Amino acid sequence: MRDLTGKVVVVTGAARGQGAAEAEALRTAGATVVATDVLPFPDGEGRHLDVTSPEDWAALAASLRDEYGAVHALVNNAGVAARERLPHVSLDVWQRTFDINVTGPMLGIQALVPLMPPGSSIVNICSVAAVSGHAAAAYTASKWALRGLTRSASLELGSTRGIRVNAVMPGLVDTPLMESAPPAFFDAALAEIPLARVGTPADIAPTIVFLVSDDSSYYNGAEIVIDGGMAAHVTHKRIADATRPPEATA
């Protein structure tokens, strides 16, 4: 059990699913967790935060400065799935996906880095979609962009502030984010996972605790894939083919 006592950790998208599991694991390790989400929390204890809003981030930063004086980790977990496929991608869905999945983490970094001492950690929850091509165009492109943001931030913040920035790439994980996926997607994806099972939030959370802890003090710019081996053989075309909608006829 890693000891995170004394660390203040902000987790976005923490009202349910993977974010809730990450927040609970961090609390169990002793961290003071500031759980945030745009959705309501079942226990009513989290804080409202729209990650696309600079004003919300500024208000959160001011509150944390007054309450704790410092923030030791930021877990950019909030994200949305967008399953539209080319060429049928609507501009509003494209923009919303990038606003939440990419701009949100960037705003969080801008707002909270001034409160983070050397040795602090930023963890961006990316996706296995950022290590190969996937059919969901906006989602895949946004996660590749978040991967790039992670690398840029690891260079900039590592050298100037001693802050580590790493990405975690989960594969198929049983969370509410996956509820909109068609059954054909699950069937095709499961066949491509060498461990022959879907992941759970509990499979991901321990890695987040590790990356927040001082045990990962030399991890910076790392990209940790947690997908049961799915990306090891990169055959996502078969998933795309299995879930391809019929072409519209005139």
Active site residue 219: no
The active-site residue, picked from 68, 139, 218, 219, is 139
Q: Could you give the CA distance from residue 135 to residue 189 in angstroms, rounded to a whole number? A: 12
Distance of CA 215 to the CA centre of its chain: 21
> Quick one: tokens of 123?
């963890």
Q: Could you give the CA distance from residue 37 to residue 199 in angstroms, rounded to a whole number? A: 23
Q: Could you give the CA distance from residue 45 to residue 60 in angstroms, rounded to a whole number? A: 15
What's at 160, amino acid-wise?
T
CA distances (Å), origin 185, targets 5, 7, 18, 134, 159: 41, 39, 20, 12, 42
Q: Could you give the CA distance from residue 175 to residue 16 in angstroms, rounded to a whole number? A: 8
> Quick one: tokens of 85?
């496929």
How many residues are given for the chain?
250
Count CA atoms closer than 13 A to 160's CA, side-chain side: 8
Residues taking part in catalysis: 139
